[in-house]
Every structure is written in structure tokens, then in C-alpha cells.
Amino acid sequence: MTQTTESAVLGEARMLIDGDLVPARSGATFDNINPATEQVLGPVADAGVDDVDAAIAAARRAADNGRWSNDLDFRKRCLLQLHAALVAEREELRREIVAETGSPIVLTYGPQVDGPLDELIPWVVDNADRFEWERELPTGTAFGTESWRRVLKEPVGVVSSIVPWNYPFEVSLVKIAQALIAGNTTILKPAPNTPWNATRIGRLVAEHTDIPAGVLNVVTTADNTIAERLVVDERIDMVSFTGSTAVGKRIYAAGAATMKRLFLELGGKSAAIVLDDADIAAVVPGVAASICAHGGQGCAMVSRLLVPRSRYEEAVAVAEAGMRAVPYGDPTDPSNIQGPQVSAVQRERVLGYISAGVDEGARVVVGGGRPDHLEVGYYVEPTLFADVENSMTIAQEEIFGPVMAMIPFDDDDDAVRIANDSVYGLGLAVLSASENRALSVGKRIRTGTVSINGGMWYGPAAPFGGYKQSGIGRQNGTEGFEQYTETKTIAGPQG
């Protein structure tokens, strides 16, 4: 374990391959950077081809061995051991997440750390007892033969679990818990911007669980060409990826040669629709400001704010007040809801989208640049655009930054049309004085999740994923569990 330049944070530099905590065979490392301070937190192993190959071989061997896939009680016990070990290091994990992601610490008491830590593994273990691993079909009579028939659910095999940098611990835990409880083996590959939470999981597996060698491997690399082996290798049966739609499309294409099973949770350009009977002054400021949480770095966050044309200027005025009141800056300060973007590259990407919005004729109401009072860190000002047309780049492409685009609509049908006019379909919020009216609108949008008047769908029992180019498959819930299984139908002579 490496002592970092920040004494409160310890990072695991080693990978977990075939049950051992190891450096890269070449000895190479890359730096983990704190996006709020731009300082190096410490090193982590930079895997090469040989390291990735060893991890795949170990996972394949463990999958084919049969012990892990055939003993559900053992799998449950091992996952509960991991859960206990993670809980014991909760506060270290919290500090680590804030340091390497730049996430405001307040979010670690929810979806960034405590939510998945407290709920996910216990739910997965409990769901495994309720899951229908086998079911009987009615007696078959095909071809004049009476047959008993049975449907079995079996592991897919070896899963590549590829994780983004925005909510890395949550996504890692979701992927490995569901893959492992279903009897699969997996290679966990974190984003190079946020590797330590994954290597922490690897260390805890090695030191505090009975998970057999090769069942869970953790590989860190800064080289996307090395990581691509986790997609194209024929020994990999499934790729579970969360990240951008652009990368998801490349994975889709690269996996085709070996017909990989895919779960792709991708981008979004979600809308919030404020209907004309809603309390504009009460709801619009909070909806506008919501894009600033964690610097807007969330795939299901609403980034298009649709308001009635008849009340547009009123809505812009109260949205402006909401955005100007957003507390942002040092992520260790519990009063802040917005920290930095995860990297200099991401900051420049967001600023580029803001420039595109200006060039295409949208009006900057709040923000629009780098904050003068924060000279260090990858910060972008909370930014509100008005006079946005849905055809503009800032209304069509995922910015992944603290940028809200306000778009007027004429009536409910127009709002539905605008919300659906997107290649994405991940999230939606509808606000109205009438829940039935909001539900009616929500059901007409092609999207995977809908929040009605602030309702929260989030949790391990709730399937999460999107329509259209927001992905394939679902994370969490029974639907998420099933995608890590294969289905086998067996028949034999009756009686």
C-alpha cells in the first residue's frame, strides 16, 4: 500500500491477479491525480499485455473449475465477507473516493459510497435465495412423446467488468456482486482516473475473503489498447460496460467477432419537463441546480429543462437564482454539492461545449467559464443557457458537466416531442400539480427511468438502463441479475 501526499488517503498500488496482489510485470505505474488539487495522490500498477492475459487466464480457469459456479451458499458467504471488509474500511473508502473522483463528500453519504455499500451486497445475496434457478415446464407432447421439461439458469462464464470514473465504487460493486453471485468469474477494470477504489476491493478480497484465486481479478491500466483485450479475447464470455455511448459503440463492434454477451449502460441527455400547472418558483430552481451535483458528471442527470413557453421568462429568472446559489468548490467541504471535473481533459471538453452553445446562438445566463476564485483544480462554473433550441449541440450531446439548457414548449404534446427528440433515452423527470398528468406524460417518453414529482427510483432492486443509444440491458433488479446467466432447457421421457 502506498502512502500518498495527502496523509488522510491511502491507496493500493497493486493489482489482484489469480489470487495474488501484484505490481505490473514490467514494473510500470501511472499516477492517480486529485482533480481538486491537481496533485499526485500516488501510483498504481500500469498493466501490460502479459498482465491482462494472466488475469483472463485465471478467470477462465476458475470459471471452468466448477467449484465457484456450483456452490451458491459458498458464493453468498464469500460476498458477505467482502461486504464486512468494505464496511470496516468505510471512512478510508470515503476519503479515497473524494480524493480521486473530486466528488463532494456529501454525495458519499448517498450513491457515491454509503448507498451501495450498505444495500447492494445484502440485497444481491438475499435475491439469490429468491431467484428461480430452476423451473418446471408443463409436460411436453412434441412428436408424440411425453417429456418432462426443465429450465435452468447457469453462469455466463467469464465477465469483463469495465467501470467509469464518475461513480466508480458504486458501479464496480454492482457489476462484481451480480456477476459473482450468479456464479461467474470476472476481471474488474477501473477507469485510469479513479483506480484506487477498485484496487482496494482487490486487496480486501485477497486479505479478508475465501473467494478462490481467479474468481475476481482487478487490472489497472492507462492504455486503452491494453484494456481492449478484455473485449476481444475469445476467453471472455460477456462484457459489462458502463461509460460513454461512443466507447460503447466501439465495444459493440469489437465484441461482434466472438458474439460477446453485452451489457452496455451508456450516455444520456435526459429532460426535466415542468408542466404549466406546476409551481414554477418552487420547483425550477432546484431542477436547474441539480445538474451541478458532482459537476454534472452523471449519465442519468437531467440536463435539458423544458418549461412552458407562456411562462418562459419567469422560469429563466428563477432558474438563474437557483444556479447562482449553487455551493461549489473544495469537495471535502460538506456545504458544497459541486466539485471539479475529473480531469483537465474533461474540463476542456465541457468548456468546448459551452463555446459551441454560444456560437450556435444560445444565451449564457449564469457562468460559462472557469471560476476566477478557484485557481487550482479542474473547475467549471455552474452554467445556465437560455434561448436553447433542441437541435443545438448543447441540447443533443452529452456534456457531462454543470451545464443546463432551458428549452420552451407549447403544450404537453410539444414537450413529449422535444423530450423524445434525442438519440438517448436514459432518464426523465416530470413535475406537475397532477400526478396523473405527470404519469401520462412520463409514459410517453422513450426512456429507462422516470421521476414523477421528485420520486426516486434508485436502489439495488430497481432496474436501471436506457432506450435507444443509452444502452443495452439493465443494471440491478432481477433484470440485472438475469443478464449474468445463460438459459438451458432440458427434457427427458416422462414416467
The pLDDT tens digits of the residues spanning 459-484 come to 999 999 999 999 999 999 999 999 99
d(CA 317, CA 311): 10
Q: Are residues 302 and 424 in the same domain?
A: yes
Sheet arrangement for strand 134-140: 134-140, 147-155, 485-493
For residue 294, give the nearest of 366, 374, 365, 379 by alpha carbon.
Answer: 379
The answer to the question of residue 202 being in a domain is yes
- Flag residues of the chain having pLDDT under 70: 1-8
Backbone φ and ψ for 289, nearest 5 degrees, come out as -70, -20
Residues 223 and 316 in one domain: no
- For residue 8, what pLDDT is reported? 65
In a domain, 284, yes or no: yes
- Buried residues in 429-456 as b, exposed as e (16+ CB within 10 A): bbbbeeeebbeebbebbebbbbbbeeee
Query: Each residue of 26-39: pLDDT tens digit?
Result: 999 999 999 999 99
Closest to 426 measured CA to CA, from 406, 453, 403, 445? 445
Same domain, 70 and 183: yes
Are both 433 and 400 inside the same structural domain?
yes
* 486 domain residue, yes or no: yes
Are 366 and 383 contacting, i.e. CB atoms less than 8 angstroms apart? yes
Q: Supply the pTM of this predicted model.
A: 0.95
Helix axes 72-88, 196-208, angle to 10 degrees: 120
Is 38 part of any domain? yes
In a domain, 464, yes or no: no
**Are residues 327 and 433 located together in one domain of the fold?**
yes
Q: Which residues are within 8 A (CB) of 410 and not within 5 positions of it... i.e. 6 or more apart? A: 308, 309
Q: Within this chain, do residues 113 and 241 fall inside the same structural domain, yes or no?
A: yes
Q: Based on the domain organization, do 243 and 299 belong to the same domain?
A: no
CB proximity list for 350: less than 8 A, separation 6 or greater? 296, 341, 380, 399, 400, 401, 402, 403
Sign of the Cα torsion 324, 330, 331, 332 reads negative
Asked if 389 and 481 sit in the same domain, the reply is no
For 102, the domain range is 2-266+471-491
- Kindly state the cell numbers that stand for 76: 453468498
- Number of separate domains in the chain: 2
* Whether 295 and 431 share a structural domain: yes
Rounded alpha-carbon distances, angstroms, from residue 81 to 63, 75, 249:
20, 10, 36
* pLDDT of amino acid 6: 45
In a domain, residue 465? The reply is no
Query: Are residue 350 and residue 212 in the same domain, yes or no?
Result: no
Cβ within 8 Å of residue 417, ≥6 positions away: none
Q: Which residues are catalytic?
A: 265, 299
Angle between helices 196-208 and 168-181 in degrees, nearest 10: 40
Question: Residue 487 to residues 54, 142, 241, 264: CA-CA distances in angstroms?
Answer: 29, 20, 22, 20
Q: Identify the bridge partners of residue 399 per DSSP, sorted by sequence position.
A: none
Write the CATH number for 37: 3.40.605.10
User: Alpha-carbon distance 271 to 425, whole Å?
Assistant: 9
Q: What is the CATH classification number for the domain harbouring 387?
A: 3.40.309.10
The predicted pLDDT at position 66 comes to: 80
Asked if residue 350 belongs to a domain, the reply is: yes
In this prediction, residue 10 carries a pLDDT of 83
**Structural domain contains residue 280:** yes
Label the pairing between strands 261-265 and 471-472.
Answer: antiparallel
Same domain, 358 and 246: no
Per residue in 118-149, pLDDT (tens digit) is: 999 999 999 999 999 999 999 999 999 999 99
Long-range contacts of 491-495 (CB under 8 A, 24+ apart): 491/140, 491/147, 491/148, 491/149, 491/150, 492/147, 492/148, 493/145, 493/146, 493/147, 493/148, 494/139, 494/146, 494/147, 494/148, 495/146
Pair 262, 277 in one domain = no
CB 404 within 8 Å of CB 323: yes
